[in-house]
Structure 1
Amino acid sequence: MNFDYDITEDIGFSAIVGANSLQNSFKRDTYNGSTFVVPGIYTLRNTINQASDFDLFTRKRNFGVFGDVTFSYKDFLFLNATGRNDWSSTLPIDNRSYFYPSVSGSVILTEALNLKSNALTYAKLRGGYASVGRDADPEFLNVVYTVGQAFNSVPVISQQNSAGNFVLGDQEITPEFTDELELGLDLEFFNRRIALDFTWYKKVTTDLIAEVAVPRTSGFDEFVTNIGEMENTGVEIGLTLVPFQTENFEWTSFTTFTSNENTVTELVDGLDRVQLAPNQIAYAQVGEPFGVFYGTRFARDDEGNYLINQAGGGIIQDLQNGVVGDPNPDFKVGFINTFRYKNLSLRTQFDWREGGDIRSISITSLLGRGVTRDTEDRERTFVIPGFLGDGAGNPILDGSGNKIPNTTQIDMNELYFSPAGGNTFGINSTDEANIFDGTVFRLREVSLAYDVPANLLKKTPFGKVSFSIVGNNLWYFAPNVPKYTNFDPEVTSFGNGAVQGIENTTAPTAKRYGFKVNVTF
């Protein structure tokens, strides 16, 4: 139900009240047939051995009621408030109902102050607070059994999800909430020849729902529960420039800058850190960014220098595990330029991601096996800079109490395929040896489009027709990974999930070329 009513000549009122019911059902069946009876007929009935490999069905239902109220004053002052209550089938009965509100306000300063200027043509100040709730995945509360085979081909029944992990959901889980405070400023100059959009935000997520890796002796790989609390603080800046504009030609440039600082502020009692996936180095740890890399590392002295095994010339492993990387980037910048000449337009997008560590098995495998030009200088010897250390991770001192520099030479093979005398920078080394800086510069997209002139469409049913040639991921440069591995830091083994920055021999990214036709009626 929608309401739109002017309370007075200056005060406007609008509202929306409604309900929403959403059900998602998912079914997946896979069958396998082998040994064809008749060549060239590709049907399951034409195979001798047939088996059902996968049979999955999930269903999730959500019901909600909501309201949205907006007041306006003289079209320059606006106040909005919303509220929604959801009931989810994936949460326990006592916790399946959850409410989340929001409130926001904005004032158009140029209208409120009656500013008439050719320089500052628009100014808006805005702020808001919002809370958002989130439930669990489908069939979360159910213990699902899968039929499979053990190593000796004996049939077994186990609790397993689609990723092959044994997962148990917390039967007392509560909804996850994210509360956000946001302040922003929008400015336009010279009739939008220059436009600035600035936003500062702070997000606090409580009762964070995530997987916890548990010992296999429990009968499971993961336990999904509310693990704690984390905080995000950051800025988002958008700058639009129109450097050149005529009747037939226009150049528009749009630049974005985003920077986010993430910190895990609290974990459930009894846990110093939470492993986010089995056999992976991604963790949630209090005081560190979410998904931080925690694992084995090189031993160092109090000045950060490597401690070297005097017998073999490799680096000693620290007796204590620690933080070895952070997958979260320092900032991201995007540059979008559009050049339009009459009905022809050229658009380019260039991205810059600064920082954000990656853990790559592909890189260390390529280096360790000696199959890239990074390791072609096989005749050289190398000395890892550092000082000699003992088995306890302490520097060895000479008779004068000074640390002893390392002078032991190792060859290229030992540099990337760790010898018995310590750890180096490839295979058979510490987790830290697999960490690389993920800074990358990328030509994200180039597109060339032609809009058919409107006068040619007058006698057709089409409102607009355009043709485009598009190229994606055409070029990238990652300065901090070994040059000839050609590794793209955007490669990931875990998609958009909680685990980021980890690559386990995953297929590389690809360039894409396409042709588009857009038609409106």
Structure 2
Amino acid sequence: MFGQNQSKGYSLNTDLLFNYEKKKVLGDLDIDLTAGASMYKWEDQFLSASTRNGIIIPGIYSLNNSAERPNVSSSRFRKQVNSLFGLASLSWDGAVFLDVTGRNDWSSSLPSSTRSFFYPSVAGSVLINELASMPQWMDLWKVRGSWTLSKQDLGVYATNVNYNLGVGAWGDYNTANYTRNIRRDEDVSPQVSRTWEIGTAAFLLKNRLNVDVAYYNIYTYDRQISAAIPASSGFTSILVNTEETRVQRGVEITLNAGIIKKENFSWDVALNWAKTHQYYKDLDPVYSPDNLWTKEGGRVDNYTGTAWLRDPQGNLINTDGGLPIRSDYTTLFGHSDPDFIWGFTNAITWKDFDFHLSFDGRVGGLLNNYSSYKMWDTGAHPDSDNEWRYDEVVNGNTSYVGEGVQVASGSVTYDQYGQIVEDTRTYKPNETPTSYETYARRYGDGTLGATDPTFIKLREIAIGYTLPKSVSERWGMSRARVSLTAQNVFLWAKDFKFADPDFNTDTELTSPSQRFVGLNINLHIAHPDNSKKR
């Protein structure tokens, strides 16, 4: 086999800017105006060719030596965005600040009817301490707020219905098929996010304490989705702007404090805490999911799956063969976003030594622990090494009896959402022995991978030493410092085992997190001052 691949491309950014600045206009007002235009353009090309069914003459590697007509494929992607924009920055008396922006883009990846779109923003802040008398312990107090629109166009050729050509697919016949099974039925508009934020920051006690609090609200509408349509149309989905809207709300708090400030010793700490969730604001009567948890005011980060069937007392229901039964309906397990995330950093200096220690983590939410699930599936999980497995492997006995009950009589009827409409079942204890291997691969630990990823991580430890100036200068250096750093030093996880929940994903087999240890040596060579020659 012989093949050749070639890929090439370029990107081009061109900007034209005009600026006007004027101080002390109408008293204490300063004005800074900027206007401009830009063009962003890129292109990627790919060409691939390979022999088919081997080569004719051994040792001659050429496409012309292909036993049959060579396989050839090529692609080309291009996009261009032209823009006009402006910025007005106003400040009054060093206390009140206002920025207003406006931008209009023309994107080649959108239909001609929606190609042009405008988005503005406004941001302002006020230094309260410059306008009013503050207590002696208040050094600075700032209040800020912003409002902005941002718009997102589409990927290259997302709105085009074009063909992918195949060469010699059947004898000498070529083929042409749609490159994607998406149909554009109407003019698709950019997706829009409206964001507003308010916050305040205060510096206290001669800047020994700094507190920053922010609240933000992101409202998303005209969302672009690929909605499923009947395959009889020749396509499987259609690209539309859905009427479904979403809102994300979040709070962030940061605290910086100088605990100790002395001549030869200091200790500074930083704390941060953040929480954010996204909610459905409006639903689309056609395209929004029809289930029990997708509702106005409900959260978007729903963690769902098919749960194990249980009786009214919560006991696991098993088959006549002694194996647990999963529901045919999807249910809500919980939510994937954390309840909150946090961080804690310490910085200590003593004479010429400095020490850095930082922790962080997350609390709550659910994450798919796929590594644990596959360990049960393959028999590698430590908890699967027990007497029932030994009895089955060594003695050939299927002696494991699972927990829960079996249905003795009766039946159950569900509605379209999996809710019980009528239930006449009676139960008896499960006493049927079964293969432990089969049971463990089916049930595992019973969580179906839905695991609380709460964790605490010692993110970094670092210790450094800076040589006294008299010593470093003696060696011809203006400064010399050595430090030892360790990262990912320690991890405690509540339930999430065999993988690092810090990755926020375990959909595939995830490698464990790596611990890093490093030595840093910084040397600054001193330059002689020739002006001091005697």
Instruction: Please list the CA deviations of residues 36-86 of structure 1 after superposition, one character each: whole Å capped at 9, or x if unmatched.
Output: 99xxx9x98799989878754322221222222222222112222221111
Matched, 1:379 2:397: no
Distance in 1 between the 2:412 and 2:284 partners? 36
Matched, 1:503 2:507: yes
Structure 2 counterpart of 1:100:
119
Distance in 1 between the 2:283 and 2:379 partners? 43
SS of aligned partner of 1:86: strand
Residues 81, 108 of structure 2: 8 Å contact kept: yes
After TM superposition, the structure 1 = structure 2 runs for residues 168-179 of structure 1, keeping only pairs within 5 Å, are 172-179=187-194
Distance in 2 between the 1:453 and 1:174 partners? 63
Structure 2 counterpart of 1:4:
21
Matched, 1:247 2:263: yes
Matched, 1:437 2:456: no
Moved more, 259-268 or 440-449: 440-449
Displacement, 1:286?
5.6
Residues 445, 473 of structure 1: 8 Å contact kept: yes
Moved more, 377-386 or 195-204: 377-386
Distance in 1 between the 2:117 and 2:406 partners? 58
After TM superposition, the structure 1 = structure 2 runs for residues 12-91 of structure 1, keeping only pairs within 5 Å, are 12-27=30-45, 55-91=74-110
Structure 1 counterpart of 2:393:
none
SS of aligned partner of 1:105: strand
Displacement, 1:477?
2.9
After TM superposition, the structure 1 = structure 2 runs for residues 288-327 of structure 1, keeping only pairs within 5 Å, are 288-300=298-310, 305-306=314-315, 308-309=317-318, 311-327=320-336
Displacement, 1:186?
0.7
Displacement, 1:23?
1.8
Distance in 2 between the 1:385 and 1:87 partners? 63
Residues 371, 506 of structure 2: 8 Å contact kept: no
In the alignment, which of 328, 345, 349 is matched to residue 337 of structure 2? 328
Distance 1:348 1:91, change over 3 A: farther
Report the aligned-residue RMSD: 4.6
Displacement, 1:509?
4.6
Please report the TM-score for the alignment, with normalisation by the length of structure 1. Answer: 0.75
Matched, 1:488 2:500: yes
Distance 1:53 1:205, change over 3 A: farther
Please report the TM-score for the alignment, with normalisation by the length of structure 2. Answer: 0.73
SS of aligned partner of 2:380: coil
Moved more, 446-455 or 69-78: 446-455
Matching residue's letter, 2:158? F
Distance 1:507 1:217, change over 3 A: farther
Matching residue's letter, 1:504? E
Structure 2 counterpart of 1:200:
215
Distance 1:475 1:140, change over 3 A: farther
Distance in 1 between the 2:41 and 2:478 partners? 36
Structure 1 counterpart of 2:246:
230
In the alignment, which of 359, 371, 376 is matched to residue 350 of structure 1? 359
Instruction: Please list the CA deviations of residues 7-31 of structure 1 after superposition, one character each: whole Å capped at 9, or x if unmatched.
Output: 1332222222222222233345667
SS of aligned partner of 1:94: coil
Displacement, 1:95?
0.6
Which blocks of at least 5 consecutive residues in structure 1 are unaligned? 276-282, 419-423, 493-500
Residues 313, 406 of structure 1: 8 Å contact kept: no
In the alignment, which of 429, 434, 440 is matched to residue 416 of structure 1? 440
Displacement, 1:489?
2.6
Distance in 1 between the 2:375 and 2:285 partners? 42
Displacement, 1:236?
0.7
Instruction: Please list the CA deviations of residues 290-349 of structure 1 after superposition, one character each: whole Å capped at 9, or x if unmatched.
Output: 35334423335667x255136244444334323334222211112222334566544343
Moved more, 376-385 or 353-362: 376-385
Residues 180, 202 of structure 1: 8 Å contact kept: yes
Aligned residues: 479
SS of aligned partner of 1:503: coil
Distance 1:116 1:221, change over 3 A: same
Displacement, 1:273?
1.6
Displacement, 1:99?
1.2
Distance 1:309 1:106, change over 3 A: same
Residues 72, 167 of structure 2: 8 Å contact kept: no
Distance 1:391 1:360, change over 3 A: farther
Residues 141, 171 of structure 1: 8 Å contact kept: no
Displacement, 1:197?
0.5
Displacement, 1:360?
4.1
Residues 221, 245 of structure 2: 8 Å contact kept: yes
Distance in 2 between the 1:286 and 1:307 partners? 33
Structure 2 counterpart of 1:280:
none
Instruction: Please list the CA deviations of residues 390-431 of structure 1 after superposition, one character each: whole Å capped at 9, or x if unmatched.
Output: 454769779xxxx7575547675354322xxxxx347xx9xx
Which blocks of at least 5 consecutive residues in structure 2 are unaligned? 1-17, 390-399, 415-419, 526-534
Residues 499, 506 of structure 2: 8 Å contact kept: no
Instruction: Please list the CA deviations of residues 363-400 of structure 1 after superposition, one character each: whole Å capped at 9, or x if unmatched.
Output: 212112211213222438565357858454769779xx
Matching residue's letter, 2:106? W
Distance 1:323 1:241, change over 3 A: same
Distance in 1 between the 2:305 and 2:520 partners? 47
Distance in 2 between the 1:171 and 1:339 partners? 61
Structure 2 counterpart of 1:496:
none
Displacement, 1:467?
6.9
SS of aligned partner of 1:367: helix
Distance in 2 between the 1:408 and 1:442 partners? 44
Distance in 2 between the 1:352 and 1:173 partners? 40
Residues 49, 63 of structure 2: 8 Å contact kept: no
Distance in 2 between the 1:218 and 1:466 partners? 70
In the alignment, which of 184, 196, 200 is matched to residue 199 of structure 2? 184
Instruction: Please list the CA deviations of residues 163-198 of structure 1 after superposition, one character each: whole Å capped at 9, or x if unmatched.
Output: xxx555676211111112211111121122211110
Distance 1:150 1:314, change over 3 A: farther
Structure 2 counterpart of 1:497:
none
